[in-house]
């Protein structure tokens, strides 16, 4: 008998403007790539780019927070990349349930390696029971999304 999925709720805030955030509900049997897709939609992004999630080790602060973090990235980043570190994992194959997330834990998400849209993700709820609606889904929006690209005129 397989375990029924449970729900995680994440608050995803722009690192440069923490007053702009989204709350996203997602099943624990979904992947980090599914979470990326929800964030993409939630922040009104126009064009896909590479991304990575960084899960820091407990107690790491400052620069060590990212340097020592476990990285989960877009599968294209791993293809034929001579600079790829063998410790970097495929976000599309990483189910949330395998991450050992804890209530209140924070981790980082970088969208678009060129323009560097950094986000802070906070685990707000774990173990909720899913309803029959589609997941992941955006359950709250706070602040207007900045444009993905800023053009000088």
Instruction: Note whether residue 84 is domain-resident.
Output: yes
Instruction: Note whether residue 124 is domain-resident.
Output: yes
The CATH number linked to 122 is 3.10.290.30
As for how many domains the chain has, the answer is: 1
Q: Are 22 and 43 in contact (CB under 8 A)?
A: yes
pLDDT at residue number 77: 74
Q: Containing domain of residue 81, as a range?
A: 7-142
3-class secondary structure, 34: helix
Spatial distance between the Cα atoms of 29 and 33, rounded to a whole number of angstroms: 12
Q: What is the pTM of this model?
A: 0.89
Instruction: Note whether residue 149 is domain-resident.
Output: no
* 147, pLDDT greater than 90: no
- Pick from 101, 73, 100: nearest CA to 87: 73
Spatial distance between the Cα atoms of 45 and 146, rounded to a whole number of angstroms: 9
pLDDT higher at 151 or 153: 151
Q: What is the CA radius of gyration of the chain?
A: 15
Omega of the bond leading into 43 within 30 degrees of 0 (cis): no
pLDDT digits (tens, 9 = 90+) for 75-124: 877 676 655 566 789 999 999 999 999 999 999 999 998 889 999 999 99
Instruction: Note whether residue 152 is domain-resident.
Output: no
């Amino acid at each position: 008998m397989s375990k029924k999925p449970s729900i995680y709720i994440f608050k995803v805030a722009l690192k440069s403007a923490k007053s702009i955030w989204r709350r996203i509900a997602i099943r624990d049997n979904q992947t980090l790539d599914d979470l990326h897709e929800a964030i993409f939609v939630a922040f009104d992004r126009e064009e896909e780019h590479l991304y990575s999630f960084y899960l820091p080790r407990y107690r790491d602060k400052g620069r060590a927070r990212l340097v020592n973090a476990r990285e989960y990235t877009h599968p294209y980043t791993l293809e034929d990349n001579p600079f790829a570190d063998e410790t970097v994992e495929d976000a599309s194959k990483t189910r949330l349930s395998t991450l050992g997330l804890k209530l209140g834990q924070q981790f980082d998400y970088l969208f678009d390696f060129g323009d560097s849209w950094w986000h802070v993700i906070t685990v707000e709820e774990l173990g909720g029971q899913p309803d029959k609606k589609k997941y992941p889904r955006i359950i709250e929006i706070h602040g207007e999304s900045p444009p993905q690209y800023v053009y000088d005129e």
